[in-house]
Amino acid sequence: MKHRICQCPPIIYCSIIFFFSCVGEAFAQFDSLGLNTKWSKGSIVLTDNSTLKGQIRFNDKMGIVKFKKKADDVEESFSETSIITMQFYDEDAARSRNFATFTVHEDETGWRGDVLLEVLMEFENFALLSRIERVNIGTRQRHDSYGASYTEKVGYEQFEKFCIMDDKGTAVVVLAVSEFERAKLSMASKLKPYLNKTALEKHLAGDWKMFESLVKSNKLNLKKREDFLRAFENYQAEIKRRG
């Protein structure tokens, strides 16, 4: 028996090809942001005060924490809101990573809430924390020829927010940066970093002039993630040097 070949009209065929190419491109872009993470040895303390020790897989791109006691055990998933503290050894970064839930305040938006943050550096009167938010579809506000506003999808976006936590346990956002992967046909650009210099100066207090001097002498730009972290590393080293 001969198999019949279905002849699709050209316009339908082109539509099918376009659909699958767009889907494939979207998944390729999303995966290129690094969805796959390794299992690491560590521990988690949950909001019910129970402690879990074993293998942890933290995917900041998806905002999901997975746990299994042994390699061949069935894995469990936890939302960040169910975690008080988390610690694991990151082989890629070659260091231990420590997380805890803090109350965060965003001066720019007025938002306040409890979120899981990574403790990067600790000082006498404050700590430097980081919050990497999950990947979301990037959008921008546009206006049509009649002046009406509409939202346009422009690619994929992930934000990282650096916070300073005071001795009362409240953290304020001092820098927000983003990674942006633009859609193929979009002309959108990455959003500008947000720097809360007023909050920095307030929390550094008497050390602000020294910190500012270190930034200038090393020609650092606090709106750049790498320079921002290097500024605090230099500040930490200077404190230790002075004893």
Is residue 235 domain-shared with residue 137, that is, in the same domain?
A: yes
Nearest to residue 112, comparing CAs of 170, 33, 36? 170
Do 84 and 139 fall into the same domain? no
159 shares a domain with 82 = no
Q: What percent of the chain has pLDDT over 70?
A: 85
Owning domain of residue 43: 36-89
What's the confidence (pLDDT) of residue 86? Answer: 97
Say if residue 114 is in the same domain as residue 134.
yes
Same domain? For 52 and 127 the reply is no
Query: Residue 37: what are its φ and ψ, rounded to 5°?
Result: -125, 160
Measured distance CA(105)–CA(89) in Å, rounded: 29
Half-sphere exposure of 16 (CA within 13 A, CB side): 6
Q: State residue 110's pLDDT score.
A: 80
Q: Can you tell me whether residue 93 is helix, strand or coil?
A: coil
Task: Report helix, strand or coil for 172.
Answer: strand
Beta bridge partners of 156: 137, 181
One digit per residue, the tens of pLDDT, for the chain of length 243 reads 433 334 444 443 344 333 333 434 434 444 544 556 789 999 999 999 999 999 999 877 777 899 999 888 999 999 888 999 999 998 888 899 999 998 887 777 788 888 899 999 999 889 999 998 888 888 888 888 888 999 999 988 989 999 999 888 888 999 999 988 888 888 888 889 999 999 999 999 999 999 999 999 999 999 999 999 999 999 999 999 987
Alpha carbon 85 to chain centroid distance?
18
Q: What sign does the dihedral 20-22-27-29 (CA atoms) show?
A: positive
Q: Are residues 175 and 129 in the same domain?
A: yes
Q: Which of 89, 112, 134 is at the close of a domain? A: 89
159 within domain boundaries: yes
pLDDT digits 0-9 by tens, 76-85: 999 888 999 9
- Are residues 235 and 130 part of one domain? yes
Are 82 and 145 in the same domain? no
Q: What is the pLDDT of residue 52?
A: 96
What is the number of domains present in the chain? 2
**Domain co-membership, 166 together with 209:** yes
Residue 157 lies in a domain: yes
Query: Which helix (H) or strand (E) covers residue 83, if one does?
Result: strand 83-90
Same domain, 43 and 74: yes
Predicted confidence at residue 166, as pLDDT, reads: 87
What residues form DSSP beta bridges with 158?
A: 179
CATH of the domain at 85: 2.30.30.100
Number of neighbours of residue 211 by Cβ within 10 angstroms: 18
**pLDDT, position 83:** 94
74 plus 185 within the same structural domain: no
Q: Do 98 and 157 sit in the same domain of this protein?
A: yes
What DSSP string runs through 96-157? Answer: EEEEEEEEEE-TTT--EEEEEEEEEEE-SS-EEEEEEPPPEEEEEEEE-TTS-EEEEEEEEE
